Amino acid sequence: MALIVQKYGGTSVGTVEKIEAVADKIAKFRDKGDDIVVVVSAMSGETNRLTAMAQDIMDYPTPREMDVLLSTGEQVTIALLSMALEKRGFPAHSFTGGQVRILTCETHTKARIREIDGTRIHAQLEQGNVVVVAGFQGTDEHGNITTLGRGGSDTTAVALAAALDADECQIYTDVKGVYTTDPRVVEDARLLDTITFEEMLELASLGAKVLQIRAVEFAGKYKVPLRVLSSFEEGPGTLISLEEEKKMEDPAIAGIAFQRDEAKITVSGIPDLPGLAYNVIGPVSEAGIEVDVIVQNAAADNTNDITFTVKRSDSDRAKGILDNLQSSLQAREISLDKKIGKVSLVGVGMRSHAGIASKMFKTLATENINIQLITTSEIKISIVIEEKYLELAVRSLHGAFDLAEGEITEESN
Amino acid sequence: MALIVQKYGGTSVGTVEKIEAVADKIAKFRDKGDDIVVVVSAMSGETNRLTAMAQDIMDYPTPREMDVLLSTGEQVTIALLSMALEKRGFPAHSFTGGQVRILTCETHTKARIREIDGTRIHAQLEQGNVVVVAGFQGTDEHGNITTLGRGGSDTTAVALAAALDADECQIYTDVKGVYTTDPRVVEDARLLDTITFEEMLELASLGAKVLQIRAVEFAGKYKVPLRVLSSFEEGPGTLISLEEEKKMEDPAIAGIAFQRDEAKITVSGIPDLPGLAYNVIGPVSEAGIEVDVIVQNAAADNTNDITFTVKRSDSDRAKGILDNLQSSLQAREISLDKKIGKVSLVGVGMRSHAGIASKMFKTLATENINIQLITTSEIKISIVIEEKYLELAVRSLHGAFDLAEGEITEESN
């Protein structure tokens, strides 16, 4: 008998029928004798419906009232799911974020959880109830309703699991778990049994949008075993665990992430003086543009090139800012390339396995793919290439590192 | 500068555009310097939408969860109205029932208000905010969300006005106020300037569905001046006030109510023994059927006739119950008449004005309308007639008692 926190997202509870299916799923766990705390999101579409009404009134709705408005979305779901459980003979008790209580800071629309009081939930579990909690929301110390921002329900689930000392936190979603790469690009992409928190963080931030980054950070910090699995299909999903729990024979590379929504800006021929990187990147950041990869290279002629990537939608603005600064930077040229793609290999095993980078470069060379940028971290190697080669690069790397279904353990030695 | 509690119902806030119009209305009061506390219902249609989802899950949804579900309706409205006020430069602060806090008993879906703490509202008013409160809802002493049942927003408004010692409680609705009778039946029905709480109670219970009875009772008990007026048209509406405030020259009759959804059952030829009324009415009431008018008349032959009315939709069931008891009651006959209508004259002035009843009967006789039943109370005379004469009766009485527009004061002496 375990205490399990389960989280069901908006698409999993998008209709009354789907809510009934979720109740069926929960019923099976109850039949096994597990204690269940369920965290739910708003029914899919509901948040957009509410936001649209607010924006009919004002372009930038008052944040406090926006939270009052949006928090109704999950409140509807907890009531309906509790009813569906009652109907199946499983007594249930719903809680809004404020009722739990989930105490947050006062930053409306993107509050952070400060404290959770598990007393009321434990009392309901002891009475044999399934506890159904509204995700995404809480209250500040003055009793104002706050929300955690989009995707905050994952964070609620993990935070609850930590506060209740749950045995596992299960995030139900519309995918079967975490794959070695996007199955739409590589047909034989493999579903991972386990992945470490660090690997998951790198994969999530690189675009494998399975879990909220904040939730993963939280789970790692509080050592909450986190499992991603499908609402709609049976299967164990992927367990996100601490590094020490990874098996020796696990491969060095956990997965391959890629992104095609970036653009590359190169500022070349700048006199090689201190403060150069700041002079280039500073003005772009200050304009609220997020900079991803940054690479700097000294040239032989005492000038310097700085290349960086930004979201493709921000790239014209970033270029414009630098064009205005060209003379003060004394830069020879400023160029923008929108046709790039980024590919990243991620794996904690990289630390102990030599030759991952060279194997990656060799694989791409064999396919005649030219590498434009390289950055590396402890558990990640990212390269930027011409966009048209993106799928080819991902597929050939997936093959080269034996990530496909049924070829798991042999490559790493 | 006054403190005014205003309540806007579902049709008054049914769309974002209507919510903006309500904000315009409130802005005018603020410009005059009044302090405003607004109570709002769910946007029209919203309660039905939510109820339908619950009933897709179960025929009799869990009451506790039903309250969690339905209370989201008003929460959406308070957020949107607060935004609309902010947009107009009038700072606003929303409160759910629980946030106020409006403490109720624990009876889900039809809770009664026990106590309201005005502290938080006064604090917001002092800061120059319009306070926007979700009607219809509160929390019990354990923090569970409760609702007051349909139309409970009127009660919230009156209870708040009493708790805050407001100068007036204004109920905005889709009619201009309280009329002498239904304007759809009598074209020159007159809008009343004032009416007493007692008169309003009799008129409301007789089907002039302007205000919730509970709200009127509450206002009378706590002496809250209550005004009914239109959300959509300008005008002072109708003030519901204490009897002593009524002017001397006000007419004896405040208004004429009528109902056509009742049926009449007569049990005749019952031996005249003690307990007879209970033997007839008891079994009907115990079956959950509400009995309205009851008249008993001893006949010359030591038998007795009892006639009573029930809702037309309950009448076949009531008749069936009595048919089964016919032999034990020793009744000669049990008959059911569905084609009846009820007309009531209401007015506190009746107490001091003789001849109201005889004038009523004479008017109907002149029109050849046969009276089937008569009941009287301190401030009301009700008669039951054949349904087809209902409009004729109402119109001729409205004329006979000079209730029409512009003929107010002369009839009563």
| pLDDT, greater one: A379 or B247 | A379
pLDDT the model gives residue B184? 85
The answer to ipTM > 0.90 is no
CB A70 within 8 A of CB A50: yes
Query: What's the burial of A235, exposed, middle or buried (CB within 10 Å: 0-12/13-18/19+)?
Result: exposed
Contact B82 A62 (CB under 8 A): yes
Residue B412 pLDDT level (bands cut at 50, 70, 90): very low
For range B54-65, the mean pLDDT: 96
Report the alpha-carbon distance of residue B256 to residue B344 in Å, rounded: 6
| Smallest CA–CA distance from B87 into chain A, residue | A58
B90–chain A nearest CA distance, Å: 12
Which member of A57, A78, A86 has the closest CB to residue B68? A78
Q: Give the mean pLDDT of B249-275.
A: 85
B58·A86 Cβ contact <8 A: yes
pLDDT of residue B408: 40
Res A86: pLDDT: 97
Residue A49 at interface with chain B, using a CB cutoff of 8 Å: no
Q: Reduced to 3 states, what is the DSSP secondary structure of residue B362?
A: helix
What confidence tens digit (pLDDT) does each residue in B140-179 have?
Answer: 999 999 999 766 899 999 999 999 999 999 999 888 888 8
Is the per-residue pLDDT at B411 higher than 50? no
User: A3-174 is classed in which CATH architecture?
Assistant: 3-Layer(aba) Sandwich (3.40)
Q: Distance (Å, rounded) from C-alpha A403 to C-alpha A188?
A: 9
CB within 8 Å: B76 and A143: no
The residue of chain A nearest to residue B94, with distances taken between CA atoms, is A65
What's the pLDDT at A150?
67
Under the banding of pLDDT at 50, 70 and 90, the label for residue B23 is very high
CA distance A170 to chain B (A): 24
What is the gyration radius of the CA atoms in chain B, in angstroms?
24
Cβ-defined contact of B83 to A72 (cutoff 8 Å) = no
List of chain A residues whose C-beta atoms are within 8 Å of the C-beta of residue B57: 16, 19-20, 80, 83-84, 87
Q: How many CB pairs under 8 A join A and B?
A: 103
- If one looks up domain B3-245 in CATH, what number appears? 3.40.1160.10
Q: What's the full length of chain B, in residues? A: 413
Cis peptide bond N-terminal to B101, omega within 30: yes
Q: Which of A171-175, A330-334, B206-210 bottoms out in mean pLDDT, i.e. has the lowest?
A: B206-210
- When scoring A62, A85, A129, A141 by the number of chain B Cβ atoms within 10 A, the one with the most, hence best to mutate, is A62
Options 3.40.50.300, 3.30.429.10, 3.30.2130.10, 2.40.10.120; CATH for A245-413 is 3.30.2130.10
Q: Phi, psi at residue A404, to the nearest 5°?
A: -70, 165
CA distance B361 to B296: 20
Tell me how close the Cα of B288 comes to any Cα of chain A, in angstroms.
Answer: 26
Q: What is the distance in angstroms between the Cα of B131 and the nearest Cα belonging to chain A?
A: 12
3-state secondary structure of A264: strand
Mean pLDDT in residue range B175-203: 88
Q: Does A51 touch chain B (CB under 8 A)?
A: no
d(Cα B383, Cα B342) in Å, to the nearest integer? 6
Report pLDDT for B413: 28
- pTM score, whole prediction: 0.80
Q: Does B137 touch chain A (CB under 8 A)?
A: no
Q: How far apart are CA A107 and CA A109, in angstroms?
A: 7
Most confident of A221-235, A247-261, B25-39, B336-350: B25-39
CATH 3.40.1160.10 segments of chain B: 3-245
CATH 3.30.2130.10 segments of chain B? 261-337, 340-400
**How confident is the model over B385-406, as a mean pLDDT?**
90
Q: For residue B149, how far is the Cα from the chain centroid?
A: 13
Residue with more model confidence, B344 or A243: B344
Residue B270: pLDDT over 70: yes
- Report, at the CATH architecture level, how domain B261-337 is classified: 2-Layer Sandwich (3.30)
Task: Read off the pLDDT band of B245 (50, 70, 90).
Answer: low
Higher-confidence residue of A247 and B39: namely: B39
Q: What is the mean pLDDT of residues B199-213?
A: 73
Q: How confident is the model at residue B243 (pLDDT cuts 50, 70, 90)?
A: low
| pLDDT beyond 60 at A94 | yes
User: And the tokens for A242?
Assistant: 């601490």
Average pLDDT estimate for B6-22: 96
Q: Check: CATH 3.40.50.1980 for B340-400?
A: no
B45 Cα to chain A: minimum distance (Å): 15
B88/chain A closest Cα distance in angstroms: 10
CATH 3.40.1160.10 domain extents, chain A: 3-174
**Interface contact flag, A76 B72, Cβ < 8 Å:** yes
pLDDT averaged over every residue in chain A: 89
Q: pLDDT-based confidence at B249, cuts 50/70/90?
A: low
Nearest CA in chain B to A76: B69
Integer Cα distance of A49 and A127 in angstroms: 37
Kindly tell me if the per-residue pLDDT of A104 is higher than 90: yes
Kindly report which listed range (A256-265, A280-289, A297-306, B357-366) carries the lowest average pLDDT score: A297-306
Show residues of chain B in contact with A79, CB under 8 Å. Answer: 54, 65-66, 68-69
**Helix H or strand E segment including A120:** helix A119-126
Contacts of A51 in chain B (CB under 8 A): none
Q: Is the pLDDT of residue B208 over 60?
A: no
- Please check whether residue A383 is in contact with residue A356, taking contact to mean a CB–CB distance below 8 angstroms: no
> Region B124-145: what's the mean pLDDT?
97
pLDDT band (50, 70, 90) for residue A175: confident
Q: Which amino acid would we find at residue B387? A: E
pLDDT of A412 > 50? The answer is no
A116 has a chain B CB within 8 A of its CB: no
Chain A residues in contact with B54 (beta carbon < 8 A): 79-80, 83
What is the per-residue pLDDT across A338-384, written as a single tens digit (0 to 9) for each? 999 999 999 887 877 778 888 899 999 999 999 998 888 888 899 99
Q: Which one is predicted more confidently, A230 or B272?
A: A230
Residues of chain A with CATH 3.30.2130.10: 245-413
Q: How far apart are CA A160 and CA A152, in angstroms?
A: 12
Q: Which of A90-104, A198-212, B93-107, B355-369 is least confident?
A: A198-212
How many angstroms separate the CA of residue A59 from the nearest CA in chain B?
10
B87 in contact with A, Cβ within 8 Å: yes
Considering only the beta carbons, identify the residue of B57, B84, B94 that sits closest to A57.
B84
Tell me how close the Cα of B84 comes to any Cα of chain A, in angstroms. 6
Contact B69 A87 (CB under 8 A): no
Cα separation, B70 vs B48, in Å, equals 9
Q: What is the pLDDT of residues A295-325, one digit of tens each?
A: 887 777 788 889 999 999 999 999 999 999 9
**Phi, psi (degrees; rounded to nearest 5) at A338:** -90, -10
The amino acid sitting at B59 is D
- State percent of chain B over pLDDT 90: 62
- Report, in angstroms and rounded to the nearest whole number, the Rg of chain A calculated over CA atoms: 24
- Sign, Cα dihedral of A349, A351, A354, A355: positive
Q: Which of residues 245-264 of B touch A (CB under 8 A)?
A: none
Can you tell me which residue has the tokens 């708790």? B163
Two tokens, residue B346: 């209401």
pLDDT exceeds 90 at position A214: no
Checking if the pLDDT of B337 tops 60, the result is yes
Beta bridge partners of B191: B179
